């Protein structure tokens, strides 16, 4: 196995998660030879993770990219900087892992796609949930037609406010893209993956009604309802609340409804539940019994999510690092290569526009 020399660009919370994951579980795959952040405080905190092992430190990512010994970079900078940093890294001949979302503007998403195609280097996006056993099994069940033809996907996320970031950049829509872009791009990615269809248009409503951190006109929303229409008559909906009291169920639920059954997550029990009709005609109302024939529960599969599966606090976080290495060394196409996850970001960008304008927004 070839050990890849890597640089870390952005040493805040997520950057340090990448450092810790590599040092603790991916030493055979990556050797971190440089770290970069414009904030001296963040560099000092990150350096402590190396236990006095010498490490090159940079305040300017452009200087780091001049190091020809660095083959790959992990980018964890504020969302509005993703495009410029990732494109510079690709042009410098690096394979790139960039945190989600892809970018905050449609034009930047396509600039990144173009740079990836022109340079021929990898551009992988941090949608690690695709690598989690929990959601991979869900994908397998959908493809195995446990629900029949998928028609509706849904996501409910009830959680607390964002964790603090340097200068609270995440609280500003122009820097983070908005809560839907920053946070729920994960869930739009999963729903699009499960439905396996192209999104066409988006309608969204939301606002900042409870949580006030920076008190500006462009502060991110703390609640939203989003509807996405896909090709083939498929649809997805998302319900977000950022001021929910903490609960024991992770505050997140995803599900798929098809013409033959229903599949949904139970993260508190680390389980997937699905129900199927015994016959297609069971959907009709039974007048003699004066009630509909309910779906029968046909399976209940429990998955014990391992410690490694939640490395860095995220399902699939470790696995995406190993997949990035396989892509570099073996040419394996990553599940989250930018072209595979482009709608994960275009959908919430459209949703943010819909909230601001009150119009249905088409995805081009």
C-alpha to C-alpha distance for 270 and 183, rounded to whole angstroms: 21
For residue range 308-328, list pLDDT tens digits in order: 466 556 789 999 999 999 999
**Cβ neighbour number for residue 55 with a 10 Å cutoff:** 16
Strands (E), the chain: 4-9, 30-36, 56-58, 72-75, 95-98, 123-125, 150-158, 199-207, 223-230, 235-241, 252-258, 261-266, 271-276, 285-286, 291-292, 296-302, 361-362
User: For residue 207, what are the CA distances in angstroms to 218, 240, 321?
Assistant: 10, 11, 35
Check whether residue 191 and residue 229 sit in a common domain.
yes
Long-range Cβ contacts of 222-225 (<8 Å, 24+ apart): 222/161, 222/179, 224/179, 224/180, 224/351, 224/355
Confidence of residue 304 (pLDDT cuts 50, 70, 90): low
Indicate if 272 and 355 belong to the same structural domain: yes
Residue 165: phi, psi to the nearest 5? Answer: -125, 170
Q: Is the separation of the CB atoms in 258 and 195 below 8 Å?
A: no
CATH number of the domain where residue 223 is located? 3.30.360.10
Question: Which residue reads 């990512």 in tokens?
Answer: 61
* Higher pLDDT among residues 191 and 313, named by residue: 191
Asked whether the beta carbons of 156 and 315 are under 8 A apart, the reply is no
Give the model confidence (pLDDT) of 318-357 as tens digits. Answer: 999 999 999 999 999 999 999 999 999 999 999 999 999 9
What's this model's pTM, rounded to 2 decimal places? Answer: 0.92
Looking at the chain, the whole-number percentage of residues with pLDDT higher than 70 is 88
The pLDDT tens digits for 36-83 are 999 999 999 999 999 989 999 999 999 999 999 999 999 999 999 999
Structural domain count of the chain: 2
Q: Is 13 helix (H, G, I), strand (E, B) or coil?
A: helix
Domain ranges, residue 302: 130-306+344-362
Residue 326 forms part of a structural domain: yes
Q: 261 and 175, same structural domain?
A: yes
Residues 136 and 276 reside in one and the same domain: yes
Q: Are 163 and 176 in contact (CB under 8 A)?
A: no
Does residue 250 lie within any of the structural domains?
Answer: yes
Question: Average pLDDT for residues 139-167, to the nearest whole number?
Answer: 90
Residues 122 and 44 in one domain: yes
Residue 308: predicted pLDDT: 44
CA atoms within 13 A on the CB side of 294: 5
Based on the fold, state whether residues 216 and 354 are members of the same structural domain. Answer: yes
Alpha-carbon span 262 to 276, nearest angstrom: 7
């Amino acid at each position: 196995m070839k050990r890849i020399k890597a640089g870390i660009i952005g040493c805040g919370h997520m950057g340090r998660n990448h450092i810790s994951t590599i040092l603790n579980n991916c030493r055979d795959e990556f050797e971190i030879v440089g770290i970069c952040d414009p904030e001296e405080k963040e560099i000092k905190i990150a350096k402590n993770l190396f236990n006095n092992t010498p490490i090159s430190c940079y305040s300017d990512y452009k200087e780091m990219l001049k190091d020809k010994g660095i083959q790959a970079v992990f980018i964890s900078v504020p969302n509005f900087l993703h495009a410029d940093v990732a494109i510079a890294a690709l042009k410098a001949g690096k394979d790139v892992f960039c945190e989600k979302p892809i970018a905050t503007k449609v034009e930047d998403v396509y600039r990144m796609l173009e740079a990836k195609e022109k340079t021929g280097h990898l551009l992988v996006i941090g949608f690690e949930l695709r690598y989690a056993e929990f959601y991979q099994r869900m994908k397998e069940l959908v493809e195995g037609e446990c629900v029949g033809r998928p028609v509706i996907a849904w996501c409910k996320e009830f959680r607390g406010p964002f964790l603090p970031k340097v200068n609270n950049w995440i609280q500003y829509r122009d820097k983070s893209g908005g809560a839907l872009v920053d946070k729920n791009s994960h869930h739009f990615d999963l729903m699009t993956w499960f439905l396996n269809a192209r999104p066409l248009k988006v309608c969204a409503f939301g606002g900042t009604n409870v949580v006030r951190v920076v008190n500006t006109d462009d502060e991110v929303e703390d609640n939203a309802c989003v509807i996405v229409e896909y090709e083939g008559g498929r649809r997805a909906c998302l319900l977000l609340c950022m001021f929910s009291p903490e609960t024991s169920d992770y505050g997140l639920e995803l599900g798929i409804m098809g013409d033959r059954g229903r599949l949904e997550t139970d993260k508190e029990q680390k389980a997937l539940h699905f129900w199927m009709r015994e016959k297609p005609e069971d959907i009709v109302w039974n007048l003699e019994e004066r009630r509909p024939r309910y779906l029968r529960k046909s399976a209940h599969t429990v998955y014990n999510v391992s410690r490694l599966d939640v490395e860095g606090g995220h399902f699939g976080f470790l696995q995406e690092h190993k997949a990035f290495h396989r892509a570099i060394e073996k040419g394996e196409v990553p599940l989250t290569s930018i072209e595979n996850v482009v709608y994960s970001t275009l959908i919430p960008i459209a949703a943010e526009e819909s909230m601001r304008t009150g119009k249905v927004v088409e995805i081009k």
